[in-house]
Structure formats: C-alpha cells, structure tokens
Amino acid sequence: MDEALIRSLTPGVLTALVRRGADFAAAEDAVQDALVEAVRGWPDDPPRDPKGWLVTVAWRRFLDAARADTARRRREDRVEEEPAPGPAPDVDDTLQLYFLCAHPSLTPSSAVALTLRAVGGLTTRQIARAYLVPEATMAQRISRAKRTVSGVRFDRPGDVATVLRVLYLVFNEGYSGDVDLAAEAIRLTRQLAASVDHPEVAGLLALMLLHHARRAARTAPDGTLVPLAEQDRGRWDTASIAEGVRILQAALARDRLGEFQAQAAVAALHADAPTAGETDWVQIVEWYDELARLTDSPVVRLNRAVAVGEADGPRAGLAALAALDDTLPRHTAVAAYLHERDGDLDTAARLYAEAAHKAPDLAERDHLTRQAARLNSRPR
C-alpha cells in the first residue's frame, strides 16, 4: 500500500461524500471503511482510478449505514445519487475540507485535531501521542468536533485567515512522539497553497520553511537550547531558506501585505545574515513596525523591543520595553537580556532567574537558569 497516496486521496474522498449530503461524522466513518477495504484488496488488485474506487465504496458504505438508521425515509432520495462506476471527477475539494475543519464554532485545539485527522490523515493515536494526551481524550475531542461541524454545508466561502491560524498552531506545536507536527504543518500548507491563490498562504508557507530551516541548529547534542545568535549557521538548511525566500518575494510582489508575510520577512533577514553580527536589525525593526500596524499585538511589540535594542542600543530597547505590560510572556527574559547588553549584570542575573521560574517549558527554563548562573559565577 502506498501510504502517501492514501493520505493524499482521503481529503478529496471525504469532501465528495459531504458534498453529496453525508454528514461529516458518518462520511468519515464510511471513508475509514473504504480504506479498510482498500488495504485488503488493493495489493492483489489495484484499481486504475484509486480515488474513484474510494468514492464509490465509501458512498456505498454510507448508504448502507443510512438505510439502517431510523431516519431511513428521509435519506432514501440519496440512494438515487449513487455515482456511476467510472473515473472520479478530477476536482480537488481539499480546500473546502480545510474550511470545514477550521470552522469558527470549533475551539482552536479541536480545529487543530480535526484538521490533522481529516486533512492530514493521521490516526487518533498519532495525534494523541503528538499532544501527549491519552488516546481516549483525543478521540473524545475529535468526536465532539465532528458532531459540531456535521450540520455545516459547503454553501458559503470559508475564511482563509482561520485556516491559516489553525495551520500556524499546528506548526508551533513542533514535534513529539512519532509525529513531526512542524513537518506535517508544512505539508498541509503546501497542499493549501496548491488549492488557493492567496499571498498570505504563501507568506505562511515561507515563514514555516524559514523557521524550519534552522531546526537542526536550535538544540545542542544534550538537548539544551541554542540562541539564534549562537547557532551554527552551517547547519541551517539552505535549500529550505532559498525556497522560503523565493516564495516570500513572489508574495510580497503582489502588494497585499499580511502578518505572515511580514513575519516571514523578519525570518528571511535573519536567514540572510552570514553571521549574527551582520544581521540587518534596522530593517527588522521596520518590519516589526509593519507587523504592529497589522496586528496591534503586544507580543510583536515585545519582539520589536529586542530588535530596537540591537539596532539602536540596549537603552533604546529598554525604553521600548518600558511601554509594555510587564506581565507579558517572556517580558522578564527580554528585560534580562537588554540589561546584560547594557552592562547591568546584577540586574540581568536577577531577572534571568525570575524569568526561569516563569518559563513555559523545561528547555527554556534550563536555558534561563544557565544564563543566571553564568552571570552569578563571574568574578566580582
């Protein structure tokens, strides 16, 4: 069995059933039944049109279930809609499935899980392992999400921005267990880019590629974090960087700037610098100004304060930081870094230790603790 082929066909088969009137949950069950039949029969007798075969078998499984349901009389008209044997129409309905899985009525966590299940083709067990939750918990989350969208019809345009937000959440989860969610997010965003001509889709794909290109250099062999300025740039994936820059340039040329394009521009400037000391921080500040205008995000303004500190000196960065809410995540860590740059090492050591207690994960906590220990152990 060609697993990649199966995963690429599944979204289109599922969408075909929903378009014909099947509710989402029943359609998904029918598609799974069809996939089981494919596993049994295809190795000995592969079909000439795999998608058409799956649509036909899945629709029949759905009809079998519908006839056994108490609402059989209301569904009898669907029996006449059974597609005739033959090639399936060469129409990619994946985009509609993205919109369904990123429906506004779903919570972000449910939208992510449903997208990975229905569009990504991952099993419930794989998704549960990636999110480090019990399989039963993830199964309940996905079931609730399917029930929520079961009555949604494909009769109005979907929101690309919501889909992008879900894919961005998937990417930011990174990876754990046997599922690399960052790579999966890139794969799904490529798929989305092939389905819709939108500069922000291209911007998100470029952003993912540029960030993912630095992945190998982000951690030391012992698993500790390596800050961007200290990373071995020879370990960066130059092919992914080149592709990301190319995609970003094409998107920016359309003059429809969005937040993902602006974020990708910042990432591209980091990737373009041969060394940390050659980073064009002035341009990065300008891009953060654009991002702040687009999003009015306090996190963007926090990152801008770091860039200002690099471009105009640490005291300018501290002045920018002073205008922000000090309860922002990583505010204390940024303050520690800028104070160290300004030569106030005692304050920096205290703030690094304080930031370590607030860190969201163990790797970041260890990094900040080491920074505090480094300053505290210096000769007095």
**212-257 pLDDT, tens per residue?**
999 999 999 988 999 999 999 999 999 999 999 999 999 999 999 9
At 365, give phi and psi (nearest 5°): -60, -45
Report CA 95 to chain centroid distance, whole Å.
Answer: 16
Cβ-in-10-Å burial (0-12, 13-18, 19+) of 66 comes to buried
Structure tokens at 343: 């030569």
Return the pLDDT at 84. Answer: 54
pLDDT above 70: residue 107: yes
pLDDT band at residue 130 under the 50/70/90 scheme: confident
Give the torsion through C-alpha atoms of 277, 361, 294, 317, to 10 deg.
Answer: -40
pLDDT above 70: residue 86: no
Lowest mean pLDDT among 52-61, 92-101, 325-334: 92-101
Return the pLDDT at 91. Answer: 45
- Computed on alpha carbons and rounded to an integer, the radius of gyration of the chain in Å comes to 25
Which residues are CB-contacts of 274 (< 8 A; sequence separation ≥ 6)? Answer: 233
pLDDT above 80: residue 71: no
Task: Provide the strand spans (E) within the chain.
Answer: 175-176, 179-180
From the CB of residue 374, how many other CB atoms can be counted at a distance below 10 Å? 14
Question: Mean of the per-residue pLDDT values for the chain?
Answer: 88
Instruction: Find out whether 365 and 333 touch, Cβ atoms under 8 Å.
Output: no
Per-residue model confidence as pLDDT tens digits over 356-377: 999 988 889 999 999 999 999 9
d(CA 213, CA 271): 9
Per-residue model confidence as pLDDT tens digits over 1-26: 677 888 888 888 998 998 888 888 88
Q: SS3 for 213?
A: coil
The number of C-alpha atoms within 13 Å of 358 and in the hemisphere containing its C-beta is: 15
Instruction: Find out whether 198 and 160 touch, Cβ atoms under 8 Å.
Output: yes
Structure tokens at 82: 């059974």
Return the pLDDT at 85. Answer: 57
pLDDT above 60: residue 177: no
pLDDT band at residue 156 under the 50/70/90 scheme: low
Residues for the chain: how many in total? 380
Give which of 174, 251, 164, 177 is closest to 211, Cα–Cα: 174
Lowest mean pLDDT among 69-78, 272-281, 304-313: 69-78
Average pLDDT of the segment spanning 23-32: 90
Per-residue exposure over 233-244, b if at least 16 CB sit within 10 Å of its own CB, e if not: eeebbeebbebb
Instruction: Find out whether 111 and 102 touch, Cβ atoms under 8 Å.
Output: yes
Q: Pick the more confident residue, 68 or 78.
A: 68
Helices within 196-313 (DSSP H only): 199-212, 238-252, 259-272, 281-295, 298-312
d(CA 316, CA 214): 28
Highest mean pLDDT among 119-123, 193-197, 215-219: 215-219
- Cα end-to-end distance, the chain, whole Å: 67
Return the pLDDT at 103. Answer: 85
Instruction: Find out whether 58 and 30 touch, Cβ atoms under 8 Å.
Output: yes
